[in-house]
Amino acid sequence: MKRTVAALIVCLLLTTAGTALADTLRIGALFAVTGPASFLGEPEKNTLEMLVKEINSKGGINKNKVELVVYDTQGDATKAKQLVNKLIKNDKVAVIVGPSTTGETMAIIDDVEKAGIPLVSCAAGIKITEPVKKWVFKTPANDHVAGEKILNYMAQQKQKSIALLTVSDGFGSSGREQLKALAAQKGFKIVADEVYGPKDTDMTPQLTKIKGTKPDAIICWGTNPGPAVVTKNMKQLGIKIPLYQSHGVASKKFIELAGADASEGVTLPAGKLAVYDKLKKNDPQYKLLSEYDKAYRKAYGVEASTFGGYAYDAFQLIAEAVRKGGVTPDKIRTGIEQVKKLVAVSGIFTMSEKDHNGLDLSAFVMVRVSKGDWEIAQ
């Protein structure tokens, strides 16, 4: 009799433990909260923490409480690799959001693939999801989409010769590769192809060379502070050639770093969040963008950024997957892959077995700096 009671108690304890575990979704996150890429990582961390707090106040996702474990990579790929293994082995997370940059993301892909833990990256490089990896997704639109958006706009402006100025990191190298391929396909002529280092503080030598080639436009591809330096250097050199930047600087931080005067007229592809107040009210993203910005301002005292939106979308994808399936890594992975027409900050996501990014040209609008703010470029 005693043995029977003891066995029942053990079964009850095991069942209870299993239920508790099933009722908790543990999300890991890797963001460049400090360091040169903190303009990416800080709003990503803030956004994810805000969303987790909000969802838990409403009872969780399908009554599953969400636990969040965040580590600061400082934008360092080696540190990201160390921390992803900590999330997987020590923290036992079911899914990971981040990292903030392409280089960091590429460094940890093998780790998540081997462990069978879904990763939703907040970085843009096309090689993150092409070719498709079973466990890897990302929320920023692919860099070739941004590049095509720029070139389509340039064609409308009858600009045909291009000077490239790209940063020599994962994001810049990928962008450079995509721009060169797209330019060849669309009949543009690249008259200069210059590169700068992530820590360079003066690009006047490259810009002087570019000026001599007399391009119709310059495309700079990188993340701050480099593109801001390029913008200031152009102003200092008196270069009047139209300047396009990548979506990697689609936040007010770029205007702040470059200065309103120097950045006036700079054009780039950006998510609709940058100009949501200028969208038509019937735009499918308008309501969500408005609510996100309002919530972020209330929580942190500043406007929401496109980069924080990448983490917002990652959480939405995970939540959608959990609602349809469950909290195990495999069910989350499958659920994300099955997402269709999910209205989000970065665009409207439709994933598939062949597409782990799920965005197209509609994810971007072309924007221009005007008097220290963004306007829709006509």
Evaluate if residue 5 carries a pLDDT over 70.
Answer: no
Q: Which of 99, 82, 85, 133 is nearest to 30 (CA)?
A: 99
Evaluate whether 135 touches 259 at the Cβ level (below 8 Å). Answer: no
- The DSSP 8-state label assigned to residue 142 in this structure reads P
Evaluate if residue 86 carries a pLDDT over 50.
Answer: yes
Evaluate if residue 10 carries a pLDDT over 90.
Answer: no
| Stretch 163-169: mean pLDDT | 97
Assign domain 144-276+364-376 to a CATH class: alpha beta
| Stretch 197-202: mean pLDDT | 95
End-to-end, the C-alpha distance of the chain in Å comes to: 82
pLDDT at 23: 73
Evaluate if residue 308 carries a pLDDT over 50.
Answer: yes
Buried b (16+ CB within 10 A) or exposed e, 289-321: beebbebbeeebeeebbbbbbbbbbbbbbbbbb
CATH architecture of 2-142+287-361: 3-Layer(aba) Sandwich (3.40)
| Tens digits of residue pLDDT in 319-372 | 999 999 999 999 999 999 999 999 999 999 999 999 999 999 999 999 999 999
| Stretch 70-93: mean pLDDT | 98
| Tens digits of residue pLDDT in 143-158 | 899 999 999 999 999 9
φ and ψ at residue 6, rounded to 5 degrees: -60, -40
Evaluate if residue 217 carries a pLDDT over 90.
Answer: yes
d(CA 134, CA 157): 41
pTM, 2 dp: 0.86
Evaluate if residue 22 carries a pLDDT over 60.
Answer: no
Domain with CATH 3.40.50.2300 in the chain: 2-142+287-361, 144-276+364-376
pLDDT at 170: 87
| Tens digits of residue pLDDT in 91-130 | 999 999 999 999 999 999 999 999 999 999 999 989 999 9
Evaluate if residue 378 carries a pLDDT over 60.
Answer: yes
Q: Which of 240, 279, 299 is nearest to 57 (CA)?
A: 299
